[in-house]
Amino acid sequence: MAKDSLETKLFGWFAAVTAISIFVACFAVQNSLQAVRRSDSVNQTHAAILEIQQIVSSLKSAENKLLIYLVSGEPKGEVPFRQELANVQEHLDVARALVISQGNSDQELRIRNMASLIASWTEEAQSLITTLKLRGPDGVIATLKKDRNFEQVRSVEEIAMASEKDQNLVLSQRDRDFNDNARLTRLILFSGTLLNFILLASLFILIRIDLKVRRLAAQALQEANNALEERVKQRTEDLLIANEQLQLENLERQWAHSAMERHYQYSLVILDSLAEGVFVVSERGNILQVNAAAARMCGAVPKELIGKSVRNLLVNVDNSPVSNQTIAQQNTLAVITHPGRLTRRDGQTFPVDFNFSPLRGDGKLVGAVITVAPVISEKLLVPGA
pLDDT in tens, 150-170: 688 888 888 888 888 888 887
- Is the pLDDT at 240 greater than 60? The verdict is yes
| CATH class held by domain 274-381 | alpha beta
Give the CATH number of domain 2-209; options: 2.40.50.100, 1.20.120.660, 3.40.50.920, 1.10.260.40.
1.20.120.660
What confidence tens digit (pLDDT) does each residue in 277-321 have? Answer: 898 888 888 888 899 888 888 988 888 889 888 888 888 877 777
Segment 127-132 mean pLDDT: 84
When mean pLDDT is compared over 63-77, 141-155, 263-277, the highest value belongs to 63-77
pLDDT band for position 333 (cuts 50, 70, 90):
low
Instruction: Please state, rounded to an integer, the average pLDDT across all residues of the chain.
Output: 80
Residue ranges per structural domain of the chain: 2-209, 274-381
Distance between CA atoms of residues 62 and 86, nearest Å: 9
The pLDDT value given to residue 283: 82
The pLDDT value given to residue 90: 92
pLDDT band for position 343 (cuts 50, 70, 90):
confident
The pLDDT value given to residue 380: 47
The pLDDT value given to residue 290: 92
CB atoms within 10 A of CB 276: 18
Segment 142-154 mean pLDDT: 70
pLDDT band for position 254 (cuts 50, 70, 90):
confident
One-letter amino acid identity for 196? N
The pLDDT value given to residue 150: 66
The pLDDT value given to residue 30: 77
pLDDT band for position 86 (cuts 50, 70, 90):
very high
- Is the pLDDT at 28 greater than 80? The verdict is no
CB atoms within 10 A of CB 336: 11
Comparing CA positions, the residue from 384, 385, 359, 383 lying closest to residue 370 is 359
pLDDT greater at residue 150 or residue 351: 351
Distance between CA atoms of residues 204 and 384, nearest Å: 109
Q: Which string of DSSP letters, residue by residue, matches 24-88? A: HHHHHHHHHHHHHHHHHHHHHHHHHHHHHHHHHHHHHHHHHHHHHHHHH--GGGHHHHHHHHHHH
Q: Considering the entire predicted model, what is its pTM?
A: 0.45
- Is the pLDDT at 379 greater than 60? The verdict is no
Q: What dihedral do alpha carbons 229, 230, 236, 241 form, nearest 10°?
A: 170
End-to-end CA distance of the chain: 92
Comparing CA positions, the residue from 138, 150, 139, 136 lying closest to residue 74 is 136
What confidence tens digit (pLDDT) does each residue in 49-65 have? Answer: 888 889 989 888 988 88
pLDDT band for position 140 (cuts 50, 70, 90):
confident
The pLDDT value given to residue 146: 63
Distance between CA atoms of residues 152 and 71, nearest Å: 20
Strand 336-343 relative to strand 314-316: parallel, antiparallel, unpaired?
A: antiparallel
Segment 12-39 mean pLDDT: 74
Q: CA geometry: angle at 243 spanning 242 and 247, to 5°?
A: 120
Segment 70-98 mean pLDDT: 88
Comparing CA positions, the residue from 383, 321, 327, 319 lying closest to residue 351 is 319
Beta bridge partners of 282: 367
Q: How many CA atoms lie within 13 A of 310 on its CB side?
A: 32
Asked, colleague to colleague, whether 2-209 and 274-381 share their fold, the answer is no
Q: CA geometry: angle at 202 spanning 199 and 205, to 5°?
A: 155
Percent of the chain past pLDDT 90, that is, above it, reads: 4
The pLDDT value given to residue 192: 81
- Is the pLDDT at 149 greater than 70? The verdict is no
- Is the pLDDT at 147 greater than 60? The verdict is no
Distance between CA atoms of residues 139 and 277, nearest Å: 191
